A and B are shown apart, each in its own frame.
Chain A
């Protein structure tokens, strides 16, 4: 397993995340209108100094609706281009660099609607955009190790903060989240309530220990690392189904090949 093929696997999954994310934004493009919920007319007031520079280079207009839609279309096309370049084994630096640049602009413009999946996807793109400039075995390895460390930090932060919270351990928060419509689910709530307290505690602790196991999965031998990764996929699939956080499945799933690779390097299974 070469670092290049692993990086291709990571980038293919991230490109899918970018396609889903930009297509979703395009289908909800009304949000970017001057009368919408993320109007640039109002949101640019947060950065008065920067806006002055943007105005200087006539970039304010580019971030306004409908021009901003061009960035979303561009992200969609560049993501497709990345997949096409990977399949045909073409050099990736240019489409990847452009995709990372466009993603940074979109993250900046949509700061009210971004989530952790967008942040992870951005980190993956920037990391590879930098490392693909040098395009050596070591530079790609560094990118894969960095992404492993970043995902490990994400899971450890989330897992340990939950572990130290009594209301997470006893399942109270799981029930309360399900009672909301933003991240909850009425059908699952009814199902869990019927199964009583034990089911709630099991689900809550599954989330906590899955997070913590994923944080350290790369330290395990490859075959055990793979088992934890499979649990991770089920965790994100469950979160997507129940909470509607669909892009997390792709952006965190993208880091799993890097996890597996790091485990292989640690245990000399190259």
Chain B
């Protein structure tokens, strides 16, 4: 029993160790790891997240006029109690993961693959389900990179979606 446990946990640790590299085999292995048994221990290293992604959308109305860009999210600054309780991080992490994936797919495989990705569908599904005026018949979204705590930062346009006509 002891030996089988040592083999089991020893193998798991070796797989986790190999999983920290960015090699082809590590990525292949991780693509099958749907239950996250191989963790990612890189934590902001070597390249941390240095920008805040903002998701904005606009609508096309029946008169073919486009509305202004709207950011559907408002995240207030972290409070003093965030070291105990901070549920907003789940929204932020989800949004960030989806946007990072779209950005990565767009730069590696191009726009056509990015618009067919699950992350793109995920954001589109969220935006299409928001309450919109009856007159709106199409939706487009864009991703902007900012540094919210830095007024000198020049906002960058990262991605603009297609127009989507189904509501």
Contact check, A182 vs B129: say whether CB atoms are below 8 A apart.
no
Chain B contacts for A177, CB-based, 8 A: 44, 48-50
Contact check, A119 vs B36: say whether CB atoms are below 8 A apart.
yes
A146 at the interface (CB under 8 A from B): yes
A184 — nearest CB in chain B belongs to which residue? Answer: B149
Contact check, A165 vs B153: say whether CB atoms are below 8 A apart.
no
Shortest Cβ distance from residue B151 to the other chain A in the assembled complex, whole angstroms: 10
A121–B87 alpha-carbon span in the complex (Å): 17
A47–B33 alpha-carbon span in the complex (Å): 12
Shortest Cβ distance from residue B4 to the other chain A in the assembled complex, whole angstroms: 10
B13 at the interface (CB under 8 A from A): yes
Contact check, A158 vs B43: say whether CB atoms are below 8 A apart.
yes
A122–B75 alpha-carbon span in the complex (Å): 28
A24 — nearest CB in chain B belongs to which residue? Answer: B87
- Secondary structure call for the B interface: loop
Contact check, A158 vs B83: say whether CB atoms are below 8 A apart.
no
A237 — nearest CB in chain B belongs to which residue? Answer: B83
B82 at the interface (CB under 8 A from A): yes
Chain A contacts for B78, CB-based, 8 A: 185, 244
B121 at the interface (CB under 8 A from A): yes
Contact check, B49 vs A180: say whether CB atoms are below 8 A apart.
yes
Chain B contacts for A31, CB-based, 8 A: 90-91, 94
A138 at the interface (CB under 8 A from B): yes
Contact check, B49 vs A113: say whether CB atoms are below 8 A apart.
no
A25–B89 alpha-carbon span in the complex (Å): 10
A80 at the interface (CB under 8 A from B): no
Q: Which of B4-31 contact A (CB under 8 A)?
A: 5-6, 8-9, 12-13, 16-17, 20
Of the stretches A33-41, A83-91, A218-226, the one at the interface is: A33-41
Contact check, A161 vs B129: say whether CB atoms are below 8 A apart.
no
Contact check, A180 vs B9: say whether CB atoms are below 8 A apart.
no
Of the stretches A1-9, A147-155, A195-203, the one at the interface is: A147-155
- Interfacial residues, chain B to chain A (CB-CB below 8 A): 1-2, 5-6, 8-9, 12-13, 16-17, 20, 34-37, 39-52, 75, 77-78, 82-98, 118, 121-122, 125-126, 129-130, 147-150, 153
Given contacts A113-B91, A146-B9, A153-B17, 5 further A-B contacts (CB under 8 A): A24-B87, A31-B91, A138-B1, A161-B46, A246-B85
- Interfacial residues, chain A to chain B (CB-CB below 8 A): 20, 24-25, 27-28, 31, 34-39, 41-43, 45-47, 50, 104, 107-108, 110-116, 118-120, 122-123, 126-127, 130-131, 134, 136, 138-139, 142-143, 146, 149-150, 153-155, 157-159, 161-162, 164-165, 168, 173, 176-186, 189, 237, 240-241, 244-246, 249
